[in-house]
Amino acid sequence: MNKQNHDQIISRKKEKTGWLRSAGESLLDLLYPGRCPVCERILLRNEPMICEKCARELPWVREPFCRKCGRMISDPARELCSDCESRLHYFDEGRAAFLYEKGMRRSVDRMKFHNHREYIPFYAQSMAAASASVLPVWRPECILPVPMHPKKRAERGFDQSLLLASALGSLTGIRVEERALVRTRYTKASKKLGRESRKKNMRGVFALDPAVRLPARVLLLDDIYTTGTTMDTASHTLRMSGVREIYFLTLCIGRGEE
């Protein structure tokens, strides 16, 4: 067999393999059609990640927002929200993609508590878009997902912050350090706790793996920023270890108080 005939056979095999793969994917789409991560409607062929209606209504975080935590504020003349004016934060600056309300709140709850990990690519794309203007300024050298305790990860079956960090790292080219920050004890859910109770609940909950050498600038990543207690606790741990610049990015953020 000469080289030309060999190349033709290889080419036909690749075409057949590609056709079979495409047919298989089409069959999977038919049997298990993608659904909108916000409203759960079956997506049309021209809707790769989210339906057109929800795309128009997404609660993006928009100006004016706090220059410290990224929370939306009503007065464009203000630089900081009332929370950042009244208390010290250990991080330098943060941003979020969406307000944690309505469709996005329900979407995140489904992802976390009903194992809808297929939403992660849409979330990561949204976070990349929301941080596109600040990442070149922050210049983080690695992404640190805010970790779950191993027991909670075993209960849920996955760590959403790690999945988000991995997806965002692939989109931005920023390396992910998944083992640097560790959770030292199991904490009860803080959703219904007040700020002081949250602080007590989170006290001393993070530590650093001494085998991991962290760079000077890091990006903390989590799914939701509400009171900021989790982000502050993690940031304090990093600050005490000598990390000079600490930024954060979350999928959603609460409105807070004016």
* CATH number, domain with residue 74: 3.40.50
First-last CA distance in the chain: 78
Give me the phi and psi of 156, to 5 degrees please: -85, -30
Contacts of 196 (CB under 8 A, 6+ apart): none
Query: Does residue 95 or residue 6 have the better pLDDT?
Result: 95
Question: Quick one: pLDDT at residue 257?
Answer: 61
The pLDDT of residue 200 is 66
Range of the domain at 130: 59-253
What digits encode the pLDDT tens for the residues 186-229?
776 655 555 666 666 677 789 999 999 999 999 999 999 999 99
pLDDT of 43 > 90? The answer is: yes
Is 4 within the bounds of a domain?
no
How much of the chain exceeds pLDDT 90, in percent?
72
- The answer as to whether 31 is a domain residue is no
pTM for this one? 0.84
Evaluate whether residue 7 is within a structural domain. no
How sure is the predictor about 9, in pLDDT bands with cuts at 50, 70 and 90?
Answer: very low
Supply the pLDDT for residue 92: 98
In a domain, 45, yes or no: no
pLDDT at 173 over 80: yes
Residue 46, in any domain of the structure: no
Instruction: Give 185's pLDDT tier (boundaries 50, 70, 90).
Output: confident
pLDDT tens-digit readout, 103-156 = 999 999 999 999 999 999 999 999 999 999 999 999 999 999 999 988 988 999
pLDDT of residue 190: 58
Mean pLDDT estimate for the chain: 87
The answer to whether residue 8 scores a pLDDT higher than 50 is no
With respect to residue 75, please indicate whether it lies within any of the assigned structural domains.
Answer: yes
Banded pLDDT at 256 (limits 50, 70, 90): confident
Residue 160 lies in a domain: yes
What's the pLDDT at 228? 93
Dist. CA 204–CA 3, nearest whole Å: 67
* pLDDT at residue 10 in the model: 43
The DSSP code for 79 is: S
H helix runs in 101-253, sequence order: 102-113, 120-130, 135-138, 150-156, 160-172, 195-202, 229-240
pLDDT value for 136: 98
Instruction: State the pLDDT at residue 26.
Output: 44
Residues in contact with 47: Cβ distance below 8 Å, sequence separation at least 6, in sequence order: 36
Number of domains forming the structure of the chain? 1
In the chain, % of residues over pLDDT 70: 81
Q: Confirm whether 77 is domain-assigned.
A: yes
pLDDT of residue 48: 87
Say whether the peptide bond before residue 147 is cis (omega within 30 degrees of 0): no
Higher pLDDT pick, 87 / 33: 87
